[in-house]
Amino acid sequence: MRIRTVAALTGALALSLTGCANGNGAQGSGPNTVTYWLWDANQLPAYQACAKGFEKENPGLNVRITQLGWDDYWTKLTASFIAGTEPDVFTDHIQKFGQFADLKVLEPLDDLGINPSDYQKGLADNWIAQDGHRYGAPKDWDTVALFYNKKMTDQAGLTPEKLNSLDWNPKDGGSFEKAIAHLTIDAKGRRGDEPGFDRNHVKVYGLATNGAGYGDGQTQWSPFTGSTGWNYTDKARWGTKYQYDSKTFQSTIKWYFGLAKKGYLAPLTAYSGGANQANAQVASGRAAMAFDGAWMISTYYGFKGVKIGTAFTPVGPSGKRATMMNGLADSITRNARNKPGAIKWVKYLSSDKCQKTVGRYGIVFPATPEGTRAAIAAYRKKGIDVTAFTRPVADKKNFRTFTYPITDYAADVTALMAPAMQAVYNGSAPVGSLKKTTAQINLILSQ
């Protein structure tokens, strides 16, 4: 029997609720206004354009958009449910929606008329909770690929063809480990695969770090664990047991974090969240390559003085390449002040009309095929080839795409896995310690 409540979920935020209770999330909400929250500043102009189109079709109805940074977004959104200042509509993440649905702070969207076949395969189905109700309208999707500094790879003799033919295994790392070893350069100019290389004084790392990856490793280790055929949980959706205690998972993680011990992967200390994510390491010349998501394409290609290329994730022991395919959605809050307007807005957001508008900005891949084609064309116009991100979705013979793990108690899983994975990364705990963490997580899921 679940005893979770909004207050229990946000217990850690209790001290901050007083300051958030008078937030402006619901200001302007009323019969003529729909309030809408999103976190990505890069997408704000695209959705402002959608709002103009929507307002033109719905005279007298206005959309008020609030954009917040990722961390502030979830803190303030959760607090708004407590304080009664929640927006009418907000951009939802697959990791969060299960608990939001369980807490009954979301409005079911069963009557919205969502047809799964109108969107990229799997996106619409992800937003149906265990109670059988839909709580999200597909918004966009993303995959993960390898970004690289062209000057550095050229100097290392790694052509685009070589980078797109890399493979790996947990025993010797395959051609992928050889590549990042060769791209790594120490303070005296010696490469990682040359005699005398000093792993303790590295000037350029072959691979940037995005941290330990918590429990999903989306832009860290998931391309490797995914290409072994390993699954996060016992079921594709709403699994009841996590499988971090698997030998396959642990051997992969041991190899991956072992790259840092060898000096090829930037250490955990090189990552400091938003201040120094993998993209910043590549931009500064501190790292030659980085795994990152499609939402970061414009950021990488916007670096001044750095020519960027992209490559597929490496082929793994399963014989396939792998990438997580995540998708966002728009959700309506249960206590939306303008529910009729919110429903109209979400219908518009999930329509080809808005999705093609967003696609033309070349920032993300919208959920509908037409929206995706518009995005591909927009990127091409900017001189950016996005094949490394789009081909995995279409080529099931050579690629495996898998979804973000969807389970109950996602926040608890993250709370337990974050320090556990960091400890393995920095060497303060063996990979075998994840067996105990897995048992703790599965005990919570069994309640």
CA distances from 139 to 5, 26, 96, 371 (A): 28, 22, 15, 10
User: Is the distance from CB of 379 to CB of 386 less than 8 angstroms?
Assistant: yes
CA distances from 4 to 1, 8, 70 (A): 9, 6, 24
Q: Which 3 state secondary structure label does DSSP give 218?
A: coil
Give the tens place of pLDDT for each residue, 138-172.
999 999 999 999 999 999 999 999 999 999 999 99
Per residue in 374-403, is it b (16+ CB within 10 Å) or e — as a string?
bbbebbeeeebebebbbbbbeeeeebbbbb
How sure is the predictor about 11, in pLDDT bands with cuts at 50, 70 and 90? very low
Domains of the chain: 12-142+328-389 (3.40.190.10), 144-324+409-445 (3.40.190.10)
Tell me, what DSSP letter sits at residue 206?
E
Mean pLDDT, residues 211-238 taken together: 96
Residue 275 has a pLDDT of: 57
424/432 Cα distance (integer angstroms) = 9
241/234 Cα distance (integer angstroms) = 6
**Helix or strand (DSSP H, E) at 421:** helix 410-426
Residue 165 has a pLDDT of: 98
| 111 has a pLDDT exceeding 60 | yes
CA 115 centroid distance within chain: 24
User: Is the distance from CB of 235 to CB of 208 less than 8 angstroms?
Assistant: no
Strands 202-207 and 185-186: antiparallel
| 1 has a pLDDT exceeding 90 | no
Share of the chain above pLDDT 70, in %: 92
Instruction: Take residue 259 and report the two structure tokens written for it.
Output: 């790259």
Instruction: Take residue 87 and report the two structure tokens written for it.
Output: 């927006």
117/94 Cα distance (integer angstroms) = 19
Q: Is the dihedral of CA 21, 22, 23, 26 positive or negative?
A: positive
| 72 has a pLDDT exceeding 90 | yes
Give the tens place of pLDDT for each residue, 363-373.
999 999 999 99
| 15 has a pLDDT exceeding 90 | no
CB within 8 A of 243, min separation 6: which ones? 230, 231, 232, 233, 234, 249, 438
Residue 20 has a pLDDT of: 34
Residue 274 has a pLDDT of: 61
Q: What is the dihedral of CA 231, 237, 243, 247, to 10 degrees?
A: -10
68/348 Cα distance (integer angstroms) = 22
Alpha helices in 84-159 (DSSP H): 94-102, 150-155
253/185 Cα distance (integer angstroms) = 24
149/330 Cα distance (integer angstroms) = 35
Q: Which 3 state secondary structure label does DSSP give 190?
A: coil
Q: pLDDT averaged over the chain?
A: 92
Altogether, the residues listed in the chain come to a count of 447
Give the tens place of pLDDT for each residue, 239-285.
999 999 999 999 999 999 999 999 999 999 999 766 569 999 999 99
User: Is the distance from CB of 281 to CB of 146 less than 8 angstroms?
Assistant: no
Mean pLDDT, residues 54-71 taken together: 96
The candidate with the shortest Cα–Cα distance to 126, out of 327, 420, 330, is 327
Which segment of 33-37, 120-124, 312-316 scores lowest on mean pLDDT?
120-124
The pTM assigned to this predicted structure is 0.92
How sure is the predictor about 98, in pLDDT bands with cuts at 50, 70 and 90? confident
φ, ψ dihedrals at 135, nearest 5°: -130, 10
